[in-house]
Structure 1
Amino acid sequence: MDGLRHRAVDLGFALAWGLLRRLPEAVVTWLFTRAADVVFRRDGRGVQRLRSNLAVVRPDAGPAELDALTRAGMRSYLRYWQEAFRLPEWSPERIVGRVRTVNEHLLRDAHAAGRGVICALPHLANYDHAGAWAGLTGMPVSTVAERLRPESLFDRFVAYRKQLGMEVLPLTGGTDDVFAILADRLRAGGFVCLVADRDLSERGVPVTLFGRKSRMPAGPSALSVRTGAPLVPATLHYDGPDLVITFHELIEPTGGAAAMTQRCADAFAAGIAAHPEDWHMLQRIFLD
């Protein structure tokens, strides 16, 4: 039964990548907006989890405001998928032209110093678009990807991100030491981007996020300590048709990985609080 379901999921993604890029953009936008509203009204487990996470971000929100925020969150989440299916067809000019940045000098200056740079991001807006932008503007990205089932679906996502100019390493199940490879990239002056607001290993670093206990992956801070590469937290949000990338203050590899990870969490919280509707967190993240 699982095999049949996995094949159906893989076929669905294959059809989406093949078909949706050929439809007019206005039609696809309408379809995904309607789909988001349907999913919101069904109020399944993912929507309930998103609502509970947003309630932590906006503790003073009443039921109507929280519902509106959750609905906007589902629309933002479906916008990510709409763009994922169509990004391979975007021209380089469009990919770069649809990005605006805040404090970009923090990233560029750190990269110019030649020690390599680590960028840690939460699940905000479209990090694939941000990765494509970075590569097209002179900073090709090395990253990791969570292994999906079926394997063919994981391969599709790896191929998709490679098409956008990223080097993608499997988080688990590969034959190589991913941490060592990323460390080598940084020592060579490279750019490593890691989505880092949700711990998949249950061995993450304890942090406080919005006053609540959570865990975040140790990878970005550990890589920084190992290599001496600075860590730059970044947060994303949508503004009309554009993606806005905000770079936060540089975190140098001092004080230990736990303190560095907490500083990342603080930067993430600032970005999420400013644009909670673009935080695509449909999973459990708060330990209590």
Structure 2
Amino acid sequence: MIMYILYRIGLFLTLVLPKRVSYASASFLADIFYNSSPKDRGVVVSNLKTVFGSFADDKDINAIARGVFRNFAKYLVDFFRSGKIDKDYLARNVKVEGAHNIDDARAMGKGVIMLSAHIGNWELGAAVTSMLGYPINAVVLTHKNKRINDFFTSQRLMGNVKPIEMGSLKSCYKALRANELVALLGDRDFSKNGILMDFFGRKAMIPKGPATFSYRLGAPIVPVFLVREPDDTFKFFVEKPIICPSGLDEEVAVRELTVKCSAIIESCVKKYPAQWFVFRNIWNIDETESQRPDTII
């Protein structure tokens, strides 16, 4: 109940305050949380050290970690402001690159799997995709608190993004067979049914959903990310479709595809490390708590 009240307060404040003021306030609160939450700060620092290797400079890593908290706070502001996102906002604040790759993928007629990660602002990225004229569905986590769950659903629907609860395979198949887009995040496994593989040189459970859908339906995988620029505008970039290899059995093909997807995510994380919002140790595969948190992500 407390979290729901905080979300409603956040929604109210971000709607009545100018965006610039909301960003500044969010960054201020993020600094307080960064300084007062050694556990969360430690996890983020540890994750970043895995990304950059053991020889990374501690001062640089800590600066990036502080940026993670600040950028995540801004991500929340943007999510709360979903009702203010329209085509005029898109024209003024979002630079779009590579959207033709979505058209090329849809031309195959088998639906499109939009692969992203907890980088930048994936929620806004889905809304931008919709504003560009594409029918998009997003696989999302449900929240134990119904009010919170309804709140997040409402925010997503404002951007014409159709939520699909994680595990609703029939809904995913239906959307893909209708040649729609289905967005999934590929950097954290919440299903406990992922693939154990190298991720930044260490073993982690990686989601196999994107690759599995691609293998079974022939749908191409299109990597897409929306990242924040230094001036708080955004870049929305779409990469070339990844086609499922033919002539392989499912297990081999799914692993091969997942390796390709993970490599793309790794590259994006290294380029935008202060925008990778993972607050759990994803390499601790025995830590069941980290696999299904009731969080806003």
Say if 2:147 is the partner of 1:116: no
Write the distance in 2 (CA, Å) between the matches of 1:245 and 1:81: 18
Describe the superposition over 1:161-188 as per-residue Cα deviations: whole angstroms up to 9, x where unpaired: 011101112225xxxxx21221121111
Partner amino acid, structure 1, of 2:228: Y
**Matching residue of 1:202:** 192
Q: Aligned residue for 1:284? A: 281
Matches within 5 A, 1:51-200: 51-59=45-53, 60-171=55-166, 178-200=168-190
In 2, distance between residues paired with 1:137 and 1:248?
16
Q: Is the 8 A contact 2:86 2:131 kept in 1?
A: no
Which of 255, 261, 265 is the aligned partner of 2:262? Answer: 265
Which of 198, 202, 224 is matched with 1:212 structurally?
202
* Aligned AA (2:196): P
Structure 2 CA distance for partners of 1:62 and 1:247, relative to 1, 3 Å: same
Judge conservation of contact 1:235–1:268 (CA < 8 Å) in 2.
Answer: no
Contact residue 164 and residue 172 of structure 2 kept, 8 A: no
Deviations 1:129-152 (A, max 9, x none): 111111111112111211112111
Number of residue-to-residue matches in the alignment:
277
Matched, 1:247 2:238: yes
Match of 1:12? 6
Does the C-alpha gap of structure 1 residues 287 and 250 become closer, same or farther in structure 2, counting only changes over 3 Å?
farther
- TM-score, reference length from structure 1: 0.91
Distance 1:195 1:96, change over 3 A: farther
Q: Which runs of 4+ in 1 moved over 6 A?
A: none
Contact 2:195 2:208 in 1 (8 A): yes
Q: Say whether 1:274 aligns with 2:291.
A: no
Unpaired segments ≥5 residues, structure 2:
286-297
User: Matched residues in 2 for 1:287 and 1:12: separation?
Assistant: 30
Query: Does the 8 Å contact 1:135/1:165 carry over to 2?
Result: yes
Q: CA deviation at 1:281?
A: 0.8
Q: How far apart are the structure 2 equivalents of 1:283 and 1:147?
A: 18
Could you tell me how far 1:24 is from its partner in structure 2? 1.9
- The percent of aligned pairs where both chains have the same amino acid is 24
SS of aligned partner of 1:286 = coil
Unaligned ranges ≥5, structure 1 = 1-6, 173-177
Q: Which amino acid aligns with 1:277?
A: A
